[in-house]
Structures are given as C-alpha cells and as structure tokens.
Structure 1
Amino acid sequence: MDCIFCKIVSGEIKSKFLKETKHSISFLDAFPLAAGHALIIPKNHHQKIQDMSIEENTDLFSLVHQMISNVDKITGSTLVAIHNGKDAGQEIPHVHVHLVPRSTVDSAGPIHSMFSSKVNVSESDMDELYDKLKI
C-alpha cells in the first residue's frame, strides 16, 4: 500500500513518535501548521472513522484525550480536527486526528470561517434532517 501513514506505522518513514498504544500512534506532523502540531492515527489502515472497529476507535480517542493535555500546554488552546473523507478535505485517505496549538495571533479562525457561504435550512428541512440523523 502506498499510504504515507502506513509507512510511518511500519517504520519505513521515520517520525517523531510521541506515544504508542495497542491500536494507535501519535507523532509530530512533518508539515506543522503551528509548533507542536501532532497527529494521532490508527495503526491499521482505515479511510474513515466509521470503518474502524469500536476497539480501535476507543483506543484512538483515548490517545487523543491523553495527548491533548500536552499539546494544550504549548499555547493554552488546541484545535482538534478530523477530515472524514475526501469531500471533507481529507488529503491522506487514512484516519488522522490533528491536534494544533492555537493562539489569537495564528491567523486561523473558528470553524465557520472555513466556509465562504452558509446554507439556509427551512424548518421542514431541519425536521427531515433531524429524523434522518437521530439515533
């Protein structure tokens, strides 16, 4: 497989590992958006979160929970970002969670600033979406 994250997991590509668990690893991003930008990935190749087993998912987000405190020490705030699929902006088709230290001077904004246009959803459409999404 020609997946850069799988090559990091196998050791084919060297990385600055921060923590390893049974199913996940955390390492510094080689192309950081901010000093201390870390990634957490599952060791097994999965394109989307819902493709992972419950055990892998629990392990991944447990590691996110552990790592975020350390990343948060850098600036006091951390952006947690997941692009779940190509259309969501996922550039590498392997699940990965970004932990990016944030500050008031980093030129990045809130999530709503990522979208140049907003959708208007009618009350009836909102009800229909609610019925489709509730569990």
Structure 2
Amino acid sequence: MSDCLFCRMVSGEIAPDVVRETDRTLAFRDVNPQAPTHVLVIPKEHHATVGAVAAADPQLAAELLGAAQAVAEQEGLGTADSPEPGWRLVTNSGPQAGQSVHHVHLHVLGGRGMTWPPG
C-alpha cells in the first residue's frame, strides 16, 4: 500500500532504524519512544490490525510474537526462560484503541519500571 508508512519502510522507500529482520517481520526503533527501549515489530505483509493478521495468517501472528521476544532478548530486557528485568508488549487495534498507523504493529517497551495503570 503506497500510502502506508510501514509498507513504505518495508519497501525501502523510508529507512527505519532496524534492530531485527526476518523474511516476514521487521523490527525498528520508534521515532517517538515512550520508554528507553521502544521497538516496533511489524509483518512485512500489510494487515491493518492484529485481528486481521490473526484471521488471515495465524502463523504470521505467531511469528510476530516470536520476533517481539527475540527483540526483547536482543535489547537485554529478559529471555524466554528468565523474564527479568521485564518488558511490555502493546498493540492497539482500531482507532478507538489509539491505533494511528493502520498496519499492525507490536510495541516492545522496556528499560524502566512500568506500572499499570500509568501515572
């Protein structure tokens, strides 16, 4: 999709700060980080929401979760066996949830304590 920011990154038209890439996923640093570590994980194939990718390609949805775990480990946020110090995985699905780029993306956040609810 030529008007999709993340599709333009996948195509190379826009160069993100890539931290990890596979045949089907791309992970890059957020340009407006909300934590010391803030990496976005996207599928290279366009799917508007997490529900859309889960319905169309469950294997790709699983690959996104695996890519998020790999990013967390690479960034020193914890491993699958030892989640210390810890990290947060966030995705927004649809405009009422705050999704501003309509290409599914997972936010990997860490590097500081995070409480919920914020504040």
TM class by smaller structure: 0.7 to 0.9
Q: What is the SS of the residue equivalent to 1:37?
A: strand
CA distance in 2, matches of 1:67, 1:102: 13
Over residues 17-73 of structure 1, what are the superposed CA-to-partner deviations in whole Å (9 max), with x where a residue is unaligned?
A: 111112111111111112221110010111112212112112211111211223316
The separation in 1 between residues aligned to 2:58 and 2:5, in whole angstroms, is: 24
Q: Which runs of 4+ in 1 moved over 3 A?
A: none
Contact 2:24 2:43 in 1 (8 A): yes
Contact between 2:51 and 2:93, CA under 8 Å: does it hold in 1?
A: no
Larger Rg: 1
- Is 1:6 matched up with 2:7? yes
TM-score, with normalisation over the residues of structure 1?
0.71
Tell me the residue number matched to 1:93. Answer: 102
Distance 2:98 2:66 in 1: 24
Percent of counterpart pairs with the same letter?
Answer: 28
TM-score normalised according to structure 2 size: 0.80
Query: Aligned AA for 1:84?
Result: S
1:15–1:113 distance in 2 versus 1, CA, 3 Å: closer
Q: Distance in 1 between matches of 2:62 and 2:35?
A: 27
CA RMSD of aligned residues (A): 2.0
Who is 2:81 aligned against? none
The structure with the largest helix share of the pair is 1
Q: Check the 8 A contact 1:42/1:95 in 2, yes or no.
A: yes
Q: Relative contact order (alpha carbons < 8 A, sep ≥ 6): 1 or 2 greater?
A: 2
CA distance in 2, matches of 1:54, 1:103: 32
**Contact 1:17–1:25 (CA under 8 A) maintained in structure 2:** yes
Aligned length: 109
